[in-house]
């Protein structure tokens, strides 16, 4: 057996020069410091993304993306297909855990200012992937074609439509018409399984390549692991093995959640029914949803919803551009302002999510 592996390895090595790669991996180190625990959340996000790809492809074998058949096909998956309930439940739970892990990953990078030079591109690709992840969540949410999803999509696309100038054409593009109909479902299906995964995979490739090339960032003022001046561990196999152990734990957690709290299907969407009481979007949109509830109909001369959308859009742009705005961290100085902004963002999201959940 060993002999076969050795010969296969040699055969590839002779052609693709694997030796260089192995050498490179062997020289890569992960710093050990008080923030090391955060290094794992990127890996967890990656693992959950892989789960999504695998379970997503499995669901594709039975799912039918049309107004008449979408709800029924998921019902079929959950009631007739062997372990269909499990795969669908895992896909839904992993989606939520993925967003959560990506959020923790993002905030940890933000607070340690790891986005500073030379990792601006890593931050940018990460942020774009985060926005795509929200797009995955939003488009995937509609696919079961149940009433919660139907109204969530109406509200979400209407919010996009509130943007000045591009709002109207954007709304028609997203909905495939003026209203949310079967045409919207077809489009969202296409976005969810083709457009978004395609773009995401490219960004992920760049992101991972940059991480491999540049290594892990270290907190400001504690650099030195690269030269072996501070504590570090080899990336391979020490860090990888820890990563894999954590992945195993996450998979267990995922299985427990998916089995103990199976994801519900709800009622089929009815285009001519009132929005049900207690309608809420997924938790990661809840703080924005809740904010829109509190903004009055008109603020001075602007529509309340337009104002809300513009403020969130502006906040998102500034957040994404932080490597270029935070000059102090670039110079290796402490920047308290960034900490306060980050704390404000976390507190705001937590408070408004809880408010949205309670009311």
Partner 1 sequence: MSEPPRDSVHQSKRSFLTFLLGGSLLAWFGSVLFPVFSFLKPPKQAEVEVRSVKVGNLKDLPRDSGTIIRFGNKPVILIRTADDQLKAFDGTCTHLDCTVQYRGDMGVIWCACHNGKYDLTGRNIAGPPPRPLDPYRVVVQDDEVFVAKET
| Choices 21-29, 75-83, 206-214, 291-299; region in contact with partner 1 by CB under 8 A | 291-299
3-state helix vs strand vs coil in the chain, percent to 5: 70, 5, 25
Determine which residue in the list 13, 67, 120, 158 makes contact with partner 1, applying CB under 8 A: 158
Among 1, 4, 297, 300, binds partner 1 (CB under 8 A): 297
Identify which of residues 154 and 328 has a Cβ nearer to partner 1 in the complex.
154
Beta-carbon contacts of 307 under 8 Å, excluding residues fewer than 6 positions away, are 295, 299
- Quick note: the x/- pattern for partner 1 over 245-284, rule CB under 8 A, is --------------------------xxxxxxxxx-----
C-alpha distances in angstroms, 161 versus 77, 143, 154, 305?
34, 21, 10, 10
Closest CB to partner 1 among 118 and 164?
164
Task: Output the six-digit token pair for 280.
Answer: 């809420």
Site for partner 1 contains 166 (CB under 8 A): no
Q: What is the rounded CA–CA span in Å between residue 340 and residue 337?
A: 5
Least Cβ distance, residue 304 to partner 1 (angstroms): 6
Nearest CB to partner 1, comparing residues 2 and 274: 274
Task: Give the chain's end-to-end CA distance (angstroms, integer).
Answer: 62
Q: Looking at 14-22, 111-119, 194-202, 297-305, which segment touches partner 1 (CB under 8 A)? A: 297-305
Chain residues 177-236 in contact with partner 1, contact rule CB under 8 A: 177, 179-180, 183
Sign of CA dihedral 194, 76, 281, 92: negative
∠ CA(289), CA(302), CA(132), 5° rounding?
40
173 sits near partner 1 (criterion: CB under 8 A): yes
CA distance 83 to 89: 10
Instruction: Give the C-alpha separation, 234 to 28, whole Å.
Output: 6
Q: In this structure, what token pair is assigned to residue 5? A: 């592996």
**138 forms part of the interface with partner 1 (CB under 8 A):** no
Q: How far is the CB of 73 from partner 1 (least distance, A)?
A: 24
Q: Which residues bind partner 1 (CB under 8 A)?
A: 151, 154-155, 157-159, 169, 172-173, 176-177, 179-180, 183, 271-279, 289, 292-293, 295-298, 303-305
């Amino acid at each position: 057996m060993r002999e076969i592996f050795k010969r296969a390895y040699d055969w590839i090595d002779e052609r693709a020069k694997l030796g260089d790669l192995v050498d490179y991996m062997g020289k890569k180190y992960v710093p050990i410091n008080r923030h090391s625990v955060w290094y794992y959340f990127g890996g967890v996000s990656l693992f959950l993304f892989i789960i999504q790809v695998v379970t997503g492809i499995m669901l594709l074998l039975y799912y039918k993306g049309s107004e008449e058949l979408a709800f029924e096909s998921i019902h079929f998956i959950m009631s007739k297909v062997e372990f269909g309930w499990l795969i669908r439940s895992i896909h839904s739970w992993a989606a939520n855990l993925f967003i959560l892990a990506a959020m923790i990953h993002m905030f940890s990078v933000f607070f340690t200012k790891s986005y500073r030079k030379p990792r601006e591109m890593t931050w940018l690709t990460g942020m774009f992937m985060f926005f795509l992840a929200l797009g995955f969540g939003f488009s995937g949410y509609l696919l079961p074609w149940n009433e919660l999803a139907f109204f969530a999509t109406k509200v979400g696309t209407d919010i996009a439509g509130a943007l000045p100038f591009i709002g109207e054409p954007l709304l028609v593009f997203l909905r495939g018409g003026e209203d949310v109909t079967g045409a919207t479902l077809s489009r969202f299906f296409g976005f969810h399984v083709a457009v978004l995964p395609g773009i995401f995979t490219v960004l992920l490739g760049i992101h991972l390549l940059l991480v491999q090339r540049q290594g892990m960032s270290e907190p400001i003022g504690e650099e030195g692991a690269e030269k072996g001046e501070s504590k570090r561990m080899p990336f391979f196999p020490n860090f990888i093995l820890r990563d894999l152990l954590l992945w195993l734990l996450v998979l267990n957690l995922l299985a427990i959640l998916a089995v103990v709290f199976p994801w519900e299907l709800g009622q089929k969407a009815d285009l001519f029914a009132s929005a049900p009481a207690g309608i809420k979007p997924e938790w990661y949109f809840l703080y924005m949803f809740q904010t829109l509830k509190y903004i009055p109909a008109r603020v001075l001369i602007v529509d309340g919803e337009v104002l809300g959308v513009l403020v969130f859009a502006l906040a998102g742009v500034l957040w994404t551009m932080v490597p270029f705005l935070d000059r102090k961290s670039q110079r290796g100085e402490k920047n308290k302002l960034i900490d306060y902004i980050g704390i404000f963002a976390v507190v705001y999201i937590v408070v408004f999510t809880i408010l949205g959940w309670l009311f």
